[in-house]
Chain A
Amino acid sequence: MISLTKIWEYGRQRWANWRRQPTKPEPAPASSEPFVAPVFTRAANDAGSLVQEFLAVGRYALLLRPQIIENLEDDQIRKTIDALDAQMALSPVGDVVLGQPIEDCDDFDTDGTAVATVQSRVVHVESIFLDRYAVTNCQYKHFVDGGGYEEMGIWEEDVWAAMLDFVDQTGHPGPHYWHNGTFPRGQADHPVVGVSWYEATAYARWCGKRLPRDAEWTKAACWPVTISPGNLQQRKFPWGEIMENDRANLWSAGINSTVPTDEFEKGISVGGLLQMVGNVWEWMSGPYGTPDDVSLALPVPMKSIRGGAFDTYFDNQATCHFQSGENPLHRKHNIGFRLVLGICDLAPRAAELIYGGSTEPITVATEV
């Protein structure tokens, strides 16, 4: 059993280290020991233990909501903001080019005809916080153990009929590849896979966050720089322009399975996000494709996924700009997710504390 004090101490230590270098996600139990999620005994009206519980299971974003933050003491707010800073990275406001960048559109078939490419468009994105790491098995287990699959309010109503299929190999509610309501031994800090888009969305609501939009995710990954008005320079990969095998867990890395979310540190993005490319594809909130792409016909409406996975074969399908799609009900072995928290979702007081006094007006991403 992991004691709460240990978790908190670890969190504090990590936050101190984060000032100098990126931190690692929630500590994974030793591979030989079966993981047991922390159990909380909450006294009625005990706000302190409730805050501690929320911090321990990664629901700190809920504590920064306007309705809740007013009831917290300064120390509790500081701890919550520390937790947010340790787990999430800020992606500043700005524009991003979505779709195939111009320099990648010079591919031609052998007969000289241009290969069909996705048309690019500039999208304005507001400031957001994005998870530094993909959601791990360990983090998702808090949701499963906390009754997330029974809390119908956080699930899309359309999917209630399909929820009986959201079970693991032994029939317990949970990701497809789990057994007896728990993840495979030794994979506590691996990204959770085998979850549908609906499960990812429900988990996000449970945490007080949401799935990222395509533009938000792309902007955080490729870190665009405005050279001149309307002219953006974006990275192909989070670290630069050239794929290197030791920076991302793709097929070429030869691992052929998921790795812990804090590995491949050399592939860190400018903003401090790990594994934006490789390891697992990540669910986006929006649909796959664009409405103006009339030549594309999908067998079912698909949701967008990005980033490539451990079995992605071609490097050009694991760039910051590449978009693929998947049936939102499918629970694949190589699709996970990371979450986003809009600054607009934070209480003004929390935003003030984070920004150090600045409270700029926040709006959602809009296409230009």
Chain B
Amino acid sequence: MSRACDVPMDSYRLAHYTVQVECYVCGGGNTFDAELCRHCQAPMALAHQVNTQNVQPGLVAVLGTSGAGKTVYLGMLMDMLSRRNFGLQSLVRGAFSVSLQQITTSALANGEFPTKTPNEPDRWNWVHSQLTSPNLRRPLELIIPDMSGEAVLEEIDHPRTFPVVRSFLSKSVGVVILVDAVRLQRGGHEQDHFTMKLLTFLSELEAENNRQRLRLKRHSGRPVAVVLTKADQCEKCFDDPEGFVKACGSGMWRHCSESIDNVKIFAAGVAGASAYRFGVGNQRRRVPLRVEPRGIIEPFEWLISKVPANGRRRSK
């Protein structure tokens, strides 16, 4: 059934529609009032913010398998940086950038982990923040999405399924790869395989960019921070993260040392200890017994020291 309605024919609106707004992630054209990019589903708020500022924010990807702890890591990182008054600090750009840390810290403070990030890119949380540090000559603008691990894997296995993943990764200036230390320690090869797959995919994207002569210089030696998450459950990780990866993830270690110039391995943990709680329908879920972030800022601090300064927006 259709319903009749009045649509105002404002001429200024029509004029706006003739000008395409470029998505900051994929570069596709969109109407001025689009909330999400119609090509890749990235929020258009990023593009509008970039257009009002004179800088081009760098893109940093936080990747890992489903359940590796991307949301918790990123949410805690952003909350910690925004609450610090020394060293590396962050100032969020846009109200939408607060959502991730809000969701994460609310859940953790209530003794729960945040819910799983949906696969649909339009439901991801994006963070646009300005970073300042005594070690930075000028503030650094970064855009970091909380991407779903399954979506990333799907894009690797079936290209063009999630165009936002490909576009974002090919433009990213730095990558944080989260590896579940507990699963790695158990001896399963899933974490090892995923990380190798991811590193190969990143190398392919880089090679593709080089072939197209796109920002050749900017992408050479893209820094990759490998972070062993849930290290609070295997204290060995904190003592010697590199040794741990050598022992438990030999494939990943070989790939890192042979094909990536700019890589460093870290260990991080957010929950001091965890247990399981049975909820409705006797479903078992892991719960943190306390929150004591450890090794969260160090990988990011290292990554920031390696990424290039923001470019300036081209004047039209």
Contact = CB atoms under 8 A, between A and B. Distances in A.
B18 interface: no
A330 interface: yes
B277 A313 contact: no
Contacts of B86: 254
B8 interface: no
Interface string B271-298: 0111111110000100001111110000
B134 to A, nearest CB: 15
Interface residues of B, number: 26
Contact of B293 (A109, A251, A297): A251
A324 B272 contact: yes
Interface of A: 107, 109, 115-116, 251-252, 254, 288, 294-299, 302, 308-309, 311-314, 316-317, 322, 324-327, 330-332, 334
B122 to A, nearest CB: 20
A312 B275 contact: no
Nearest to B238: A333
B143 to A, nearest CB: 25
Given A295-B279, A299-B276, A107 B110 contact: yes
A323 to B, nearest CB: 9
Nearest to B106: A110
B85 interface: yes
Contact of A296 (B235, B273, B276): B276
B111 interface: yes
A308 B290 CA distance: 9
A288 B276 CA distance: 13
Contacts of B111: 115-116
A78 B275 CA distance: 48
Interface string B83-114: 11110000000000000000001001111000
The 8 A-B pairs of least Cβ separation, nearest first, read A297-B276, A324-B290, A311-B292, A313-B291, A324-B289, A295-B278, A314-B109, A298-B275
A312 B292 contact: yes
Contacts of B110: 107, 109, 115
Contact of A314 (B84, B274, B284, B291): B291
Contacts of B76: 313
A311 B277 contact: no
A332 B272 contact: yes
Interface of B: 76, 83-86, 105, 108-111, 235, 272-279, 284, 289-294
B273 A325 contact: yes
A311 B108 CA distance: 15
A311 B273 contact: no
B286 to A, nearest CB: 9
B290 A312 contact: yes
A322 B284 CA distance: 23
A331 B239 CA distance: 13
B292 A254 contact: no
A297 B291 contact: no
A330 B233 CA distance: 10
B182 to A, nearest CB: 10
A327 B273 contact: yes
Contacts of B273: 302, 324-327
7 contacts: A254-B86, A295-B279, A297-B276, A299-B276, A312-B290, A326-B272, A326-B273
Contacts of A296: 275-278
Contacts of A295: 277-279
A317 B284 contact: no
Contacts of B291: 312-314, 317
B240 to A, nearest CB: 12
B278 A297 contact: yes
Contacts of A312: 290-292
A213 B110 CA distance: 25
A331 to B, nearest CB: 8
B256 to A, nearest CB: 27
A221 B108 CA distance: 25
Nearest to B107: A109
Contacts of B277: 116, 295-297
**Which of B76, B83, B273, B276 is the most central at the interface, judged by chain A CB atoms within 10 Å of its CB?**
B273
B105 to A, nearest CB: 8
Nearest to A298: B275
Contact of B275 (A314, A325, A332): A325
